[in-house]
Structure 1
Amino acid sequence: MRAQVLEAFNTPYKFKDVPVPPNPTGQDILVKVGAASYCHTDAVFASGAMWQDLPRIGSHEFAGTIVAMGPDVSPKLNLKVGMPVGVPGRAFHPCGSCYECRNNDGDPEKYGVWCPEAGNLGLSANGGFQEYCIADSRQIAPMPEGMTAVDTAPLMCAGLTIWNALERAGVQMEAGGGKGLTIAISGAGGGLGHLGVQFAIKLGCKVVAIEASDPALALLKDVVMDLGPLGSGVTIVDARQQPAEDVRVSIFGSPEPNLEGEKGVDGVLILPESQKAFEYGMKLVKNHGICVTVSFPKEGFHMQPRDLVFRHISMVGVLVGRNRQLRAMLNFAAKEGVRAKVTTYKLEQLNELVEDYHKGSSGKLVVDMSK
């Protein structure tokens, strides 16, 4: 079968013919891949900054169809051969006995998304840049009616991560659950960010969408246009031209003397690996608000403890989410029409995709196996 293989770090993928994976055993399934999305973590892995296991077939956010199932797949999962599914890379073969697996908050029994022993498709095990891939039946979600593999693949990491980030920011994850909240998204024109704008608006929030590049701002304008009347709830901010203090006043009005912290966004999601983006977002948060960091720059972020101590701002981090969140997010996206802005490529064009990614292409870049 066709596959794209990373054989050495900081080198192009090699397009090769490799064996089809064997019939699945245990709780595994075999998926015929329909589409595989490229994520920032794929770029980080290819640079040699994560797992050192090579060769590797990448992509940890993909979608396809179940073609075979292991004998131990639980009937409770309601899976069957021929079912279209979305596959996130995280939590491949967790141990089943650690704290995370025993206290998994509604996920399949003995399945912990944050199990330290679990693997990750596309990183520690082969992922979606191939025609067929083995997955753990407990990590996937049925694809809702009306969704395609190209629609679904970008949601398997980007969509799930931003959904979890919004939940950590205090949004109730159901229609209308964000009413009364204003959420700022720093990096709103990126792969995660433009999905976050759509989710937040359709959950009932108001959104401050922050960007600092022309392509990202152009993508945001397209997203807002597609939202129709709901787009009036989005304020697009060019951080290069608009100081955070001015943005805060323009949205919430001038504060009373010595009460500057009473007005601002309820939460901010920090998506870029940028100290400036972090500081800009923190300036928008009101007292007792929350800052959710999704990015993990190697050099870290420098924060002001006074924001936590005197302004009582909470800081949390987010990495993807649980299986129950995956299913809820995917069903919400199908019902409410949340879709990534995608550019599609043939599998043979993966290195062209990677080049476009590093040039700053906006939206999500997806390999469409039907091309």
Structure 2
Amino acid sequence: MSLPSSYKVAVAETPGSPLALKDIPMPAVGDKQVLVKVLACGVCHTDAVVAAGYFGNSFPRVPGHEIIGDVVKIGSAVVGVKPGDRVGGSWHGGHDGTCRECSRGLVQMCQNEEAHGVTLDGGFGEYVLMRSQAIVRVPADMDPAEAAPLMCAGLTSFNGIRKMGIEAGSLVAVQGLGGLGHLAIQYANRMGYKVVALSSGSSKKEFAQELGAHHYVDTSAEDPVKALTALGGADLIVATAPHAKAISPLVNGLRSLGKLLVLAPVGNVEIDTTVLLRKGASVLSWPSGNITDAEEALEFSKTHGVKCLVEKFTLEKVNEAMGHMLTGSVRFRSVLVVD
């Protein structure tokens, strides 16, 4: 197929400025690169962090790391994908293949990792140029807009929960009912756990139960620690809402050898280490996942009917999409849909 000489992107030109729509030249495709026509790209909180300059002075930069699209051109050394294939891209944009982490298959922790939308231009545009080692194969029958957030929010919650080694039938509590939380509840339910949703407000109870929560705790009216203790204590608590004061006391709601999995990038959180010592409990996290993890997250979601609820925006309304994400007015993930 013939390609245009240029294409439209939404770019962060200076720290803190609104994203600007620009036409940029169509790049040459390197030997190990893949050119993708973007169909949809999720809007993540990290995109706003990048645009604000917290990852350094890497400007101008096209954000976006929840990418779904179709391959339109491949480099001469690329194997495994071909033009017409439905693919995706996550945070992981590339790795060196030589460091200790890469040798153990933990490429998303590579000491020299590239990241879409951070060190490499991402998916906020009509096209994106990706490294072949970062290509995720996507089922063609998945809705692109619904699949896009699974590249980050879905992958993070799915992979984080399954890496904790919690036995099926155990009690898993999910703190927060936003973009990460509404997916974590679904994954925990489909993995065979008894699920408790922790969120503020009685109006969310029915929705949490529809997602798969067996119990709902309104944290504005009830102490979540007492509620969890009454249920015997949680084997795993998944913290998805970035509120340090809400996360801090949750270790008291763990049962012996329980785990607090922190997926929200919240900064410093006070933890009572006496509780950890007494219960043999632990506080852990997990950094997203590699390409295989992403493909397994997609396949699991498709097989078990895990759905990400999205609000769609055109590329021209990218700043509106970012604003909705930052104010929390979107339910539950903002997604750019590219014609």
User: TM-score scaled to structure 2, two decimals?
Assistant: 0.92
Q: CA–CA distance in 1 between the matches of 2:264 and 2:186?
A: 20
2:171 matched residue in structure 1: 182
- Over the matched positions of the two proteins, sequence identity in percent amounts to 30
Number of the residue aligned with 1:119: 114
CA positional deviation for 1:145: 4.0
Please state whether the residue corresponding to 1:127 is helix, strand or coil.
coil
User: Gapped runs of 5+ residues in structure 1?
Assistant: 106-111, 172-177, 253-262
Deviation (angstroms), 1:307: 2.1
After TM superposition, the structure 1 = structure 2 runs for residues 1-371 of structure 1, keeping only pairs within 5 Å, are: 1-23=7-29, 25-74=30-79, 78-90=80-92, 92-104=93-105, 112-171=107-166, 179-187=168-176, 189-212=177-200, 218=204, 221-222=206-207, 224-225=209-210, 227=211, 231=212, 233-250=213-230, 252=231, 263-298=232-267, 300-361=268-329, 362-370=331-339
Structure 2's unaligned 5+ residue stretches are 1-6
In structure 2, what is the Cα distance between the partners aligned to 1:234 and 1:19?
52
CA distance in 2, matches of 1:193, 1:72: 40
Preserved contact between residue 180 and residue 205 of structure 1 (Cα < 8 Å): yes
Q: Confirm or deny: 8 A CA contact 1:35 1:63 kept in the other structure.
A: yes
For the 8 Å contact 1:51–1:123, the answer to whether it is kept is: no
Residues 51 and 124, structure 1, Cα contact 8 Å, conserved in 2: no
3-state SS in 2 of match to 1:56: coil
Which residue does 1:260 correspond to in 2? none
When the two chains are superposed, the root-mean-square deviation of aligned CA atoms in Å is: 1.8
Shift of residue 196 of structure 1? 0.8
Q: Distance in 1 between matches of 2:291 and 2:265?
A: 23
The one-letter code sitting in structure 2 at the alignment partner of 1:366 is V
Distance 1:213 1:21 in 2: 49
TM-score, L = length of structure 1: 0.85
Contact 1:342/1:363 (8 A) holds in 2 = yes
Question: For residues 229 and 100 of structure 2, what CA distance do their matches in structure 1 show?
Answer: 46
CA offsets, 1:126-157, max 9 Å, x none? 00001110112222222114202112110001
